[in-house]
Amino acid sequence: MIGWMALALLIGGCGPSEVRAPDSDINEARELLSNSLELWKSGKKAEDLRSLNPPVYFADDQLAKGAKLKDFRILTNGEMYVTNVKFEVELQFNGADGQEDRQRKIEYLVTTVPAKTISRLE
Protein backbone atom coordinates (compact mmCIF):
# COMPACT_ATOMS: atom_id res chain seq x y z
CA MET A 1 0.00 0.00 0.00
CA ILE A 2 2.80 2.45 0.90
CA GLY A 3 4.54 1.67 -2.42
CA TRP A 4 1.40 2.69 -4.33
CA MET A 5 1.13 5.92 -2.36
CA ALA A 6 4.75 6.82 -3.11
CA LEU A 7 4.18 6.08 -6.79
CA ALA A 8 1.03 8.24 -6.79
CA LEU A 9 2.95 11.13 -5.22
CA LEU A 10 5.70 10.92 -7.84
CA ILE A 11 3.26 10.71 -10.73
CA GLY A 12 1.13 13.50 -9.25
CA GLY A 13 3.99 15.97 -9.36
CA CYS A 14 5.17 15.93 -5.76
CA GLY A 15 8.61 14.65 -6.73
CA PRO A 16 11.68 16.76 -7.43
CA SER A 17 11.36 19.24 -10.27
CA GLU A 18 13.86 21.18 -12.35
CA VAL A 19 14.46 24.70 -11.11
CA ARG A 20 15.08 27.13 -13.95
CA ALA A 21 15.48 30.89 -14.10
CA PRO A 22 12.70 32.76 -15.87
CA ASP A 23 13.13 33.54 -19.56
CA SER A 24 14.56 36.93 -20.47
CA ASP A 25 12.43 39.36 -22.45
CA ILE A 26 13.74 39.81 -26.03
CA ASN A 27 12.76 43.48 -26.36
CA GLU A 28 14.15 44.38 -22.95
CA ALA A 29 17.34 42.46 -23.76
CA ARG A 30 17.82 44.36 -27.03
CA GLU A 31 17.32 47.69 -25.25
CA LEU A 32 19.73 46.67 -22.48
CA LEU A 33 22.38 45.67 -25.02
CA SER A 34 21.93 48.82 -27.11
CA ASN A 35 22.01 51.15 -24.08
CA SER A 36 25.08 49.41 -22.65
CA LEU A 37 26.94 49.61 -25.96
CA GLU A 38 26.04 53.32 -26.21
CA LEU A 39 27.49 53.86 -22.73
CA TRP A 40 30.67 52.00 -23.74
CA LYS A 41 30.86 54.11 -26.90
CA SER A 42 30.58 57.27 -24.76
CA GLY A 43 33.62 56.16 -22.76
CA LYS A 44 32.02 54.37 -19.81
CA LYS A 45 33.78 51.37 -18.29
CA ALA A 46 32.45 48.06 -16.95
CA GLU A 47 32.55 49.39 -13.36
CA ASP A 48 30.41 52.37 -14.45
CA LEU A 49 27.77 49.97 -15.73
CA ARG A 50 27.89 47.99 -12.48
CA SER A 51 27.16 51.19 -10.55
CA LEU A 52 23.87 51.78 -12.41
CA ASN A 53 20.56 51.09 -10.69
CA PRO A 54 19.89 48.26 -11.40
CA PRO A 55 23.49 47.26 -12.06
CA VAL A 56 24.49 45.91 -15.48
CA TYR A 57 27.14 43.19 -15.48
CA PHE A 58 28.90 43.39 -18.86
CA ALA A 59 31.54 40.69 -19.43
CA ASP A 60 33.68 41.53 -22.47
CA ASP A 61 37.48 41.38 -22.56
CA GLN A 62 37.70 44.40 -24.87
CA LEU A 63 35.63 46.51 -22.46
CA ALA A 64 37.66 45.26 -19.49
CA LYS A 65 40.92 46.18 -21.26
CA GLY A 66 39.68 49.71 -21.92
CA ALA A 67 39.21 49.42 -25.69
CA LYS A 68 37.57 52.50 -27.19
CA LEU A 69 34.35 51.55 -28.95
CA LYS A 70 33.85 53.74 -32.01
CA ASP A 71 30.56 52.33 -33.23
CA PHE A 72 28.35 49.24 -33.15
CA ARG A 73 25.51 47.68 -35.05
CA ILE A 74 23.16 45.02 -33.71
CA LEU A 75 22.79 42.62 -36.64
CA THR A 76 20.03 40.32 -35.38
CA ASN A 77 16.68 40.77 -33.64
CA GLY A 78 17.63 38.35 -30.89
CA GLU A 79 16.77 34.72 -30.37
CA MET A 80 16.13 32.75 -27.22
CA TYR A 81 19.13 30.74 -26.04
CA VAL A 82 17.89 28.75 -23.05
CA THR A 83 16.76 31.60 -20.72
CA ASN A 84 19.01 34.23 -22.36
CA VAL A 85 18.70 36.18 -25.59
CA LYS A 86 21.48 35.85 -28.17
CA PHE A 87 22.43 38.75 -30.44
CA GLU A 88 24.98 39.10 -33.20
CA VAL A 89 26.73 42.47 -33.10
CA GLU A 90 29.35 44.25 -35.17
CA LEU A 91 31.76 46.33 -33.09
CA GLN A 92 34.13 48.93 -34.50
CA PHE A 93 37.04 50.10 -32.36
CA ASN A 94 39.40 53.05 -32.66
CA GLY A 95 42.57 51.46 -34.00
CA ALA A 96 46.20 52.51 -33.83
CA ASP A 97 47.41 55.14 -36.33
CA GLY A 98 43.87 56.06 -37.34
CA GLN A 99 43.11 52.61 -38.75
CA GLU A 100 39.77 51.06 -37.93
CA ASP A 101 39.70 47.65 -36.34
CA ARG A 102 36.36 46.13 -37.30
CA GLN A 103 35.25 42.85 -35.78
CA ARG A 104 32.27 41.01 -37.16
CA LYS A 105 29.82 38.47 -35.83
CA ILE A 106 30.46 38.91 -32.16
CA GLU A 107 27.71 37.18 -30.22
CA TYR A 108 26.39 38.34 -26.89
CA LEU A 109 24.11 36.56 -24.45
CA VAL A 110 21.83 38.98 -22.62
CA THR A 111 19.89 38.19 -19.46
CA THR A 112 17.19 40.48 -18.11
CA VAL A 113 16.11 38.44 -15.06
CA PRO A 114 17.01 37.95 -12.29
CA ALA A 115 19.99 40.24 -13.05
CA LYS A 116 20.96 42.43 -16.02
CA THR A 117 23.93 40.65 -17.64
CA ILE A 118 25.68 40.80 -20.98
CA SER A 119 28.38 38.27 -21.81
CA ARG A 120 30.39 37.84 -24.97
CA LEU A 121 30.37 34.38 -26.53
CA GLU A 122 33.73 33.20 -27.84
Q: Give the start-to-end residue ranges of the domains of the chain.
A: 22-121
Q: What is the CATH number of domain 22-121?
A: 3.10.450
DSSP SS3 for 119: strand
Pairing outcome for strands 116-121 and 69-74: unpaired
Of 21, 36, 113, 31, the closest CA to residue 78 belongs to: 31
Higher pLDDT, 94 or 4: 94
- Once rounded to an integer, what is the mean pLDDT over residues 61-65? 91
* pLDDT tens, position by position, 64-113: 999 899 999 999 999 999 999 999 999 998 865 556 676 778 999 999 99
Q: Which residues pair with 51 in a beta bridge?
A: none
**DSSP label at residue 22:** P
Question: Using CB atoms within 10 A of its CB, is residue 78 exposed (0-12), middle (13-18) or buried (19+)?
Answer: buried
CB 83 within 8 A of CB 20: yes
The 10s digit of each residue's pLDDT in 5-26 is 444 444 555 545 667 778 999 9
